[in-house]
Amino acid sequence: MFKEEERIKINKDAWNIVAPQFFEGSFTNLEYGMYAPSEEELNFLGDLKGKVILEVGCGSGHTLEYMARAGAGELFGVDLSTAQLESAKKVNSQFNIPITLIESPMEELKGVPRNYFDIAISIYALGWTVNLSKTLSNIFDALKPGGVFVFSWEHPVHSLLEYRDGKLVFKRSYVEEGYEKHESWRTVSIVMHYRKLSTYINGLIKAGFIIDQVVEETRIPENDTGEPNQWYSAEKARTLPPDLIIKSHKPDFNIG
């Protein structure tokens, strides 16, 4: 068993090593996952012009770049990886708007102001948290009343199944939550957590959020001919959603 701080340290070291693998191009649209509907279709964030936005787990900074190009007024990006933040700084050096990059675990969000943000977003990062309750409470506190929080993550069922001998088979139980250390994730050791869909939903409710929409739909290109035994594949996506997207908001206590 690893303490929370030990798990954070393992993952920080791992992401510092694999960061170059995620440094890719620019986003013309905001993608929530491999086979997920995009922001262009969902319009969860609305008009970004002038908005103050926090990205939790900003990684290489390409989502920040997308939001800067869309006219955001001020951006904050938080990540535990020094290497990822160095990439994010390079990607966003072209913009004149205020962009603050903070090295901090999402369980702490050190240096992030409270009641400040119109929008918080986390794309394929929230599930890395070692303490979901702390992280969601931090995000809730950072938002203004009425502020929107949107996150995507790998669907909890997706990681349970693998394609073997022409069929999908369960490799572990859905109801048993916890974590395990993978010794060779992208050639490094890293700690992954397993949570049920209800854990994310109930965590949002406990933190004070109001849930607006849960998305499990898939969008599979007709010309997708990838190998069915790949981790993300069209064959697998036709059976179960690879991605989970949830939109929620902080109540506006000034109403009523």
The mean-pLDDT minimum among 60-69, 86-95, 130-139, 219-228 falls in 219-228
pLDDT of 23 above 70: no
- Are the C-beta atoms of 99 and 140 separated by less than 8 Å? no
Beta strands 99-103 and 117-123, pairing class: unpaired
* pLDDT at residue 172, as a whole number: 86
Res 229: pLDDT: 80
Residue 76: CB atoms within 10 A of its CB come to 24
Q: In whole angstroms, give the CA distance from residue 53 to residue 92.
A: 14
pLDDT at 256 over 50: no
Task: Give the C-alpha separation, 48 to 246, whole Å.
Answer: 18
Please say if the pLDDT value at position 26 is more than 80.
Answer: no
pLDDT per residue over 196-214, tens digit each?
Answer: 999 999 999 999 999 999 9
Whether residue 74 has pLDDT greater than 90: yes
More confidently predicted of 121 and 23:
121
Percentage of the residues of the chain whose pLDDT score is greater than 90: 77
CA dist 236 → 162, 197, 207, 230 (Å) = 8, 19, 33, 9
H-type alpha helices, the chain = 4-18, 39-42, 62-69, 82-91, 132-142, 197-207, 234-237
pLDDT value at position 255?
44
Question: How sure is the predictor about 162, in pLDDT bands with cuts at 50, 70 and 90?
Answer: confident
Partner residues linked to 150 by β-bridges: 121, 247
- CA separation for the pair 16, 39 (Å, rounded): 28
Nearest CA to 236 out of 171, 159, 165, 168 is that of 168
pLDDT band at 36 (very low <50, low <70, confident <90, very high): very high
**Verdict on whether the full-model pTM lies above 0.85:** yes
Please provide residue 137's backbone torsions phi and psi, each rounded to the nearest 5 degrees. -65, -40
Residues of the chain with pLDDT > 70, as a percent, come to 96
Domain ranges of the chain: 4-249
pLDDT, greater one: 191 or 254: 191
Task: Please give the average per-residue pLDDT across 24-49, as a whole number.
Answer: 88
Asked if 18 contacts 186 with a C-beta cutoff of 8 angstroms, the reply is yes
Q: Is pLDDT larger for residue 222 or for residue 3? A: 3
Which two three-digit tokens encode residue 19? 């960061």
Report pLDDT for 28: 67
Distance from chain centroid for Cα 178: 19
pLDDT at 22: 74
Distance between CA 150 and CA 154 in Å, rounded?
A: 14
Mean pLDDT, the chain, integer: 92
Question: What is the architecture, at CATH level 2, of domain 4-249?
Answer: 3-Layer(aba) Sandwich (3.40)
| Res. 254: pLDDT tops 60 | no
Q: Return the minimum-mean-pLDDT range out of 23-27, 137-141, 215-219.
A: 23-27
